Structure 1
Amino acid sequence: MRGMNREAGERVSAALLALPGVSRATPDDGQIEVHYDPSQHTVMDLVRAVRSQGFLAGML
């Protein structure tokens, strides 16, 4: 995620971890690795959580 510094990464990570079924959201160098239960959320749910913090998101 372009423009994501350490503080922003922690904020986005916290927003993702607030979703039930997200077990890990680890920010690192402009990206976040997310582990989640796909029976509880879709990828778009995760993208919406990232967007709510002011960043664009996509999958790698």
Structure 2
Amino acid sequence: MAGLFLLPIISSLAWLLFLHYNNIPLKQGRKGFMYILAISVLLILTLTALLWLTAYQHQAY
């Protein structure tokens, strides 16, 4: 879970390599970076909420 911050970095690097390999300009591939960022933030927020919710279950007993 602690290494989750690497998800957007690795995904962005893979997207950058894909754009470079296919000779697509960065300006044209900007939308892909936005999708990577949005999905990563959504995933991180969801997992954080799940950890926060389940932490109280263990304290109640």
Shorter chain as denominator, the TM-score bin is: 0.3 to 0.5
Which has the larger Rg? 2
Q: TM-score, normalised by structure 2?
A: 0.36
Bigger share in strand: 1
